[in-house]
């Protein structure tokens, strides 16, 4: 527990650091990568170039500092971030490196205003925050279905929309000697014994030709079944020169028979199991674009567990060519006994807005996934319509508050 003096100083100086937060984290990343270039193999290079990681780190540290005397209140957010850290293989030894350069950046940006008392307080505060993350992530590493990044072989690659490809992979057996197989990290992974949770994601480790560094990316599972393998989807990202490093590699170069390195499934975006068997509170699954991936797995899980539950499927995308997993969704909805389906094509002028959201029942158990603008619009609309924050669950497809990914 941080000392009373530290709590007092940190509370008093949070507004100052908020004002300079992005500048501090920009200096932090510059200095840390200069001294530890190997960490560029963990941190998302695209988010670095776009400034997203700087903002995410500043937001995370400052939010934790504001609640330093009651970090338990932030447990849901800390857990969400820790899932990312475990998936990226961020280890306890990384935290002192981050701490050293973060405190150094505060000194550099604030200059003479960063007194010894302020620096000592923020050092203690960071150590307190880091210890919470390390403790939570320790448990996650112990519970992971396999350790580190293990090689998997692609056994199926299928276009499910104009810009989305679905992959099915199986563990590489140590006895295999096929061309291109990476056996160095092969592990004894029995698919039949894996228990995946609808809504989870895996993390892919690649070495793209167009980058000087290893690149890690998270991709959601579109099914929790392991009958045929682990199944996930990748959207091609060509928004500008900073995007698409990994997705273009996955679309254009990774083929059936090739291997790819994956860390064990992670994430806490999951169905409320207390409601799955109940039929009085409808399930609402809302997504846009490739955000359909995790909610598709949730639809599958709900139909398998209780097809009688009232279910509302809401999906938005650019047009019919971008409509992902349409056949799979139709097949699952056909197995449900009480469903509504609502599809919105933006190019046709179909609008998913607060006016339409007002038609949703209350109470409802709502799950939302998509781009950050989509997420913000849907969540703001639902909250404005008095859907409680505890009933709206979400998974943004974009950078989250994280010390790493």
Known catalytic residues?
A: 95, 137
Tokens describing residue 355? 């006016």
DSSP code for 279: S
Residue 282 neighbours by CB under 8 Å, 6+ apart: 309, 310, 311, 312, 361, 364, 365
CA-to-CA dists, residue 91 to 42, 64, 95, 260, angstroms: 11, 19, 7, 22
Strand 339-345 and strand 311-317: pairing?
parallel
Rounded Cα distance, 88 and 384, in Å: 35
CA-to-CA dists, residue 152 to 14, 87, 166, angstroms: 45, 16, 15
**Nearest partner of 240 among 371, 405, 49, 54, judged by Cα:** 49
**Nearest partner of 269 among 344, 370, 355, 171, judged by Cα:** 370
Tokens describing residue 298? 């949730």
Rounded Cα distance, 221 and 227, in Å: 14
Q: 16 and 110 in contact (C-beta within 8 Å)?
A: yes
CA-to-CA dists, residue 33 to 40, 48, 195, 301, angstroms: 7, 11, 37, 42
Rounded Cα distance, 310 and 333, in Å: 11
CA 186 to chain centroid = 25
Rounded Cα distance, 309 and 284, in Å: 11
Rounded Cα distance, 231 and 309, in Å: 25
- Kind and range of the H or E element at 288? strand 283-288
Rounded Cα distance, 4 and 109, in Å: 26
Q: How many CA atoms lie within 13 A of 345 on its CB side?
A: 8
- Residue 363: is the preceding peptide bond cis (ω within 30°)? yes
């Amino acid at each position: 527990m941080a000392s009373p003096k530290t709590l007092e100083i940190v509370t008093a100086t949070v507004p100052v650091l908020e004002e300079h937060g992005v500048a501090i984290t920009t200096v932090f990343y510059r200095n840390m990568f200069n001294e530890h270039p190997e960490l560029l193999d963990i941190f998302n290079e695209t988010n670095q170039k776009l400034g997203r990681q700087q903002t995410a780190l500043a937001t995370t540290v400052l939010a934790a500092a504001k609640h330093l005397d009651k970090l338990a209140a932030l447990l849901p957010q800390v857990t969400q971030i820790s899932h990312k850290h475990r998936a990226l293989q961020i280890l306890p030894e990384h935290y002192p490196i981050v701490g050293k350069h973060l405190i150094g950046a505060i000194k550099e940006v604030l200059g003479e205003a960063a007194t010894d008392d302020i620096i000592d307080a923020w050092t203690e505060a960071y150590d307190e925050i880091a210890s919470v993350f390390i403790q939570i992530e320790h448990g996650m590493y112990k519970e992971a279905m396999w350790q580190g990044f293990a090689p998997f072989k692609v056994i199926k690659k299928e276009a499910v929309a104009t810009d989305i490809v679905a992959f099915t992979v199986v563990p590489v057996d140590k006895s295999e000697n096929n061309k291109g197989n990476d056996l160095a990290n092969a592990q004894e992974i029995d698919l039949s014994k894996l228990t995946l949770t609808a809504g989870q994601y895996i993390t892919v480790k690649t070495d793209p030709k167009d980058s000087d560094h290893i690149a890690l990316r998270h991709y959601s599972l579109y099914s929790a079944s392991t009958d045929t393998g682990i199944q996930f989807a990748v959207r091609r990202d060509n928004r500008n020169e900073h995007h698409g490093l990994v997705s273009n590699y996955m679309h254009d170069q990774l083929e059936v028979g090739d291997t790819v390195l994956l860390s064990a499934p992670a994430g806490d975006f999951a169905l409320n199991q207390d409601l799955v068997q109940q039929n009085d509170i409808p399930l609402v699954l809302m997504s846009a674009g490739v955000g359909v991936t995790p909610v598709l797995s949730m639809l599958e899980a709900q139909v398998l567990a209780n097809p009688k539950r009232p279910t509302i499927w809401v999906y938005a995308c650019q047009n019919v060519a971008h409509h992902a997993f349409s056949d799979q969704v139709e097949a699952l909805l056909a197995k449900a006994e009480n469903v509504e389906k609502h599809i919105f094509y933006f190019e046709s002028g179909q609008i998913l807005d607060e006016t339409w959201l007002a038609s949703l029942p209350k109470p409802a158990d709502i799950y939302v996934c998509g781009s950050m603008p989509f997420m913000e619009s849907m969540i703001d609309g639902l909250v404005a319509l008095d859907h409680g924050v505890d009933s709206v669950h979400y998974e943004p497809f974009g950078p989250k508050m994280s010390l790493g990914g």
